[in-house]
Amino acid sequence: MDTTLQDPLVGQLLDGRYRVEARIAVGGMATVYRAVDTRLDRVLALKVMHPALAADGAFVERFIREAKSVARLAHPNVVQVFDQGTEGPYVYLAMEYVAGCTLRDVLRERGALQPRAALDILEPVLAALGAAHRAGFVHRDMKPENVLIGDDGRVKVADFGLVRAVDTVTNTTGTVLGTVAYLAPEQIESGTADPRVDVYACGVVLYEMLTGDKPHHGDSPATVLYKHLHEDVPPPSAAVPGLAYELDELVASATARTPDVRPHDAVALLARTRVARAALGAEQLDAMPPQALAGGHDITEDRTSVIPRALNSPTLGLARAGASPSRPLPVGGDDGAAGVHRTSRLQSPPPPPPLRGPGLRGRGPLTVVLAVLLVFGVGTGVWYINSGQFTKVPPLLTKTEAQARDRLAEAGLDVGAVRHAHSDTVKRGTVISTDPEAGTRIRQNDSVALTISDGPKNVKVPDLAGYRLDKARALLKQDGLEPGMVTRRFSDDVPRGFVVSTSPATRTTVRAGSAVALTVSKGSPVDVPDVTGEDLADARAELAEAGLKVEVAAEPVHSGHDKGEVARQTPAPGSRAAEGDTVTLTMSRGPEMVEVPDVVGDSVDDARRELEAAGFEVREDRGLLGLFGDTVEGQSVEGGESAPKGSAITLEIR
């Protein structure tokens, strides 16, 4: 069953602006969609609060606070919020759409990362959080799910839904909101939320990237909570022998249970991270990580949860709830998420035995258990509905159909409709796309539709000979081909403007979308007559009789022809043109008159050089007496007079 198709918002236009195209993810508080901003024509992510929660003022306030907070963070590593609005029961945020995956997806797929890769991810995360801290905000819910890695390699921090002002402290009689696996001890005990809680969470995330696993595990959130309250995060090298000491120190510094020992904000941790990187050699940075550790991945530890603060005290809450490290404690989540935390106390005593509260005095153990279930049953139900029944569509692109079916079965999903489509880039028999897309959060046992590649679509080049050029181009597009380069040549058989042949040739099998070159007839060839020296009227008549058109150049030129006669033509006389081609005529403005130099008395060589430099042709008249002479005795045009440039000057030599 395709759950995306059942979503009432998919295909709708929200707030008269945002066209909802597909559902990306579902949480306990909101659903995220891929949408198009029809006003600005751009793809974005639309985070829509569940209508049932939109009536809760606290939830709406948190939603709006996220929009206002992130809008102030103009940073390349922060997912930007563009807009916030309401339509009917829907309260939404319009956010930057990042095509890619989350760090959680990477860790689930690959396990531990090389130190270089882990630091390459951590540094932009710290840069984003540093910008938030310097702007006066704390994220409060840092975890791999909120680290987006784009297809282009960019790293961005998302989901500032729990953001609070730096100086805000949650009321100690209220609740703590966050993901238990990454909460700092002071958040659990007192609700304090300053930049150091994000530093702590980043230390846990770094440990997870280096080892492929979280630092603590247990049978229930309460068990892991107890471990965090009483145990330090172990050094990563304990799980992955050979990791550099500097990485152990970096994790220990960030996850110190005493807040004052940690770097004071993400900017300070970023500085320490860069110092640690600089101290590592290439072999240490590129050390191959082990396979994912055997601890497994507990999705209940990754979810944002509402934790009653009465449970957060190791001496009061656990006792009143009747819980111990070996006794599971249910944790409810407004985000459909639950997780683990740790305490800031260095030497906390183990929890005392369960005590009976005043209201339960004299009642049996069953009454106590029922009371606890009444208190926490709703939250536990929310966790089960939003976590236990959901999974994510695994990445299946380029997998064979059999491999895709196996991967879906492993993820607890069924195979839906199997469609086929041609693809120029995806190998025949492998997956082109899935519906829903990879990474989409859907219910277990739902179905995923597969589109399998049939390879490139092949078509045959149609017979276009004898078609006009415009018709031939239309026929190519109709058959899934592209009109290519057009070459023109003379043809005695095919009329001008009609196709003579194609390349590739007719009925050749080619890939759909290929370009087909066309050879088009110029018609029968025409010999271009010589009309230079003729007046314009006679030249027009002669060219028209040959089937050619005439165009006159705008500017006449000096030439040896009289003014008003054709000085030159293009194409040149004797060349071949097609019937209907145009011949350009350039008219003469007459010869250019140039003053003739006086060369009488000069030697023949000197006279020749001077006259030719002035643009004249030189001829010699030696007679019988000047056969061996070398002196100019006269010239046909006297020096100082004007003569047409290019005309001949005759020299008398004696």
pLDDT, tens digit, for every residue of 188-209?
777 778 999 999 999 999 999 9
Residue 21 is predicted with a pLDDT of: 93
Q: Which has more confidence, 308 or 93? A: 93
Q: Sorting pLDDT into bands at 50, 70 and 90, what band is 440?
A: confident
pLDDT at 61 over 90: no
Residue 602 is predicted with a pLDDT of: 93
> What SS3 state is found at 390?
strand
Residue 339 CA to residue 215 CA, distance in Å, equals: 12
Lowest mean pLDDT among 125-134, 283-292, 637-646: 283-292
Residue 312 CA to residue 177 CA, distance in Å, equals: 12
pLDDT at 173 over 50: no
Contacts of 186 (CB under 8 A, 6+ apart): 192, 196, 197, 259, 344
Residue 646 is predicted with a pLDDT of: 86
- Cis, peptide link before residue 314, omega less than 30° from 0: no
Q: Which has more confidence, 356 or 529? A: 529
The average pLDDT across 340-364 equals: 33
Tens of pLDDT, residues 47-57: 998 887 877 77
Tens of pLDDT, residues 531-585: 999 999 999 999 999 989 999 999 999 888 999 999 999 999 989 898 888 999 9
The average pLDDT across 40-68 equals: 82
pLDDT at 379 over 70: no
Residue 559 is predicted with a pLDDT of: 87
Alpha-carbon separation of residue 381 from 302, 384, 389, 444, 524 (angstroms): 17, 5, 11, 17, 87
Q: Write the DSSP assignment of 146-192 as a string of letters.
A: GEEEETTS-EEE---TT-EETT-B--TTSEEEEEGGGB-HHHHHH-B
Lowest mean pLDDT among 54-63, 115-124, 560-569, 637-646: 54-63
CB contact at 8 A, 211 and 259: no
CB contact at 8 A, 122 and 103: no
pLDDT at 78 over 60: yes
Domains of the chain: 1-97 (3.30.200.20), 101-348 (1.10.510.10), 391-453 (3.30.10.20), 458-521 (3.30.10.20), 525-587 (3.30.10.20), 593-653 (3.30.10.20)
Active site residue 141: yes
Residue 606 is predicted with a pLDDT of: 94
CB contact at 8 A, 31 and 23: yes
The average pLDDT across 500-515 equals: 90
Residue 548 is predicted with a pLDDT of: 92
Residues paired with 96 in a beta bridge: 44
Residue 302 is predicted with a pLDDT of: 59
Residue 629 is predicted with a pLDDT of: 82
Identify the CA nearest to 89 among candidates 12, 26, 21.
Answer: 12
Alpha-carbon separation of residue 34 from 4, 152, 422, 436 (angstroms): 12, 18, 25, 12
Q: Which has more confidence, 323 or 500? A: 500
Tens of pLDDT, residues 297-348: 554 455 555 554 444 444 333 333 333 333 222 222 333 332 222 223 223 3
Lowest mean pLDDT among 21-30, 301-310, 377-386, 496-505: 377-386
Q: Quote the percentage of the chain above a pLDDT of 70.
A: 79
Q: Sorting pLDDT into bands at 50, 70 and 90, what band is 353?
A: very low
Q: Which of 141, 194, 248, 265 is catalytic?
A: 141
Contacts of 595 (CB under 8 A, 6+ apart): 614, 640, 641, 642
